[in-house]
A = this chain, B = another copy of it.
């Protein structure tokens, strides 16, 4: 039978037929513009097609931070850099060589900000923002990139602990499915407004775990990522409660902590876990650090490893019984001698002073903990680093 078209003409027809959401010029612009382009010298080139724009800028965490002052105080924000217009209507920016890292960016065209890069399918959602990203190879960037190593499995499962089924993400290490062994478990919690997708998308946890395990730096372990917003059963798009907006949703009312022992029981029942305190860890960022602190002190028999990443230590709702008697409960927890109590925060994090106060409390009682202070603020760059630093210490004591 004769082939009526060549592959190339098939592609041309396909390109036209799958123009579902773009004017034609936009369709072709996707084909023409390469962005991001990571260069051999460790710089990145970003491009944006905007033929009649007056000004195109990029903002991202690879640029020096700015300080912005408002009536509510000062805060830092990522820097901004201009793109240069080329003759064909494409604007271009080339950075200096960058330190190896995963970086985020978005564009600003005239007065429209937060624009995604239409040439790239490399993006991640954090809460209600979609951000493009690129990775500069090297020591740190390589940790966040998929490598040619054995990969774990990532599953979205529905856990029916508590009042109703909730969606969660579970990482099982390479070899779990084909073997029969039992594994320790890390419970890895997200921040305010995040969900069970956060550590996978923006946290790059599967790549970090695969790489650390392949290098022999971390024990093979199961990692469970719950959804800590008990108002919702799942991340946007996966809940039967309609199109809820994640921004600002969170649970610091004791409800998440209360159901946690049932989550642990469910995991121990459904996975081949080593179901004992010395093979269980809990850590989280921001609200998830708060949750980790609360859960580990509320149930001192559950976790021997605790990690607080930029933890929102004193930020729970008022008049929640579970949050009362903190000192007394910490006393019980530390009497049971956890093997590792690990606290990390950036020097410019807005929760820094809370953590100073919390450490002062621990110091006053003589409770042992490890403290890591990094540069920077309340940002994923730090949380990825903290995870990569915390995980190699687990289940070895």
Binding site for B on A (CB under 8 A): 1, 3-7, 10-26, 29-31, 34, 36, 38, 50-53, 59-61, 68, 70, 72, 75, 77-78, 80, 104-106, 108-116, 118-123, 125-131, 134-135, 145-148, 150-151, 153-158, 165, 167, 174, 177-178, 192-193, 234, 236-240, 243, 245-248, 252, 270, 286, 312, 314-318, 326-327, 349-350, 354, 357, 361, 377-380
> Which chain B residues lie closer than 8 Å to A120 at the CB level?
128, 243, 245
Cα A115 to Cα B111 with chains together (Å): 14
**Among B15, B68, B177, which residue has its beta carbon within 8 angstroms of that of A248?**
B15
How many copies of the chain does the oligomer comprise? 2
A378 CB, nearest partner CB in chain B, Å: 4
| Contacts A11-B192, A14-B286 given; does A23 touch B318 at CB 8 Å | no
A116 CB, nearest partner CB in chain B, Å: 5
Evaluate contact between A236 and B129: CB separation under 8 angstroms: no
Cα A104 to Cα B326 with chains together (Å): 49
Evaluate contact between B146 and A153: CB separation under 8 angstroms: no
**Among B18, B122, B129, B318, which residue has its beta carbon within 8 angstroms of that of A22?**
B129
| Contacts A75-B17, A105-B21 given; does A122 touch B192 at CB 8 Å | no
> Which chain B residues lie closer than 8 Å to A147 at the CB level?
240
**Among B108, B127, B130, which residue has its beta carbon within 8 angstroms of that of A23?**
B108
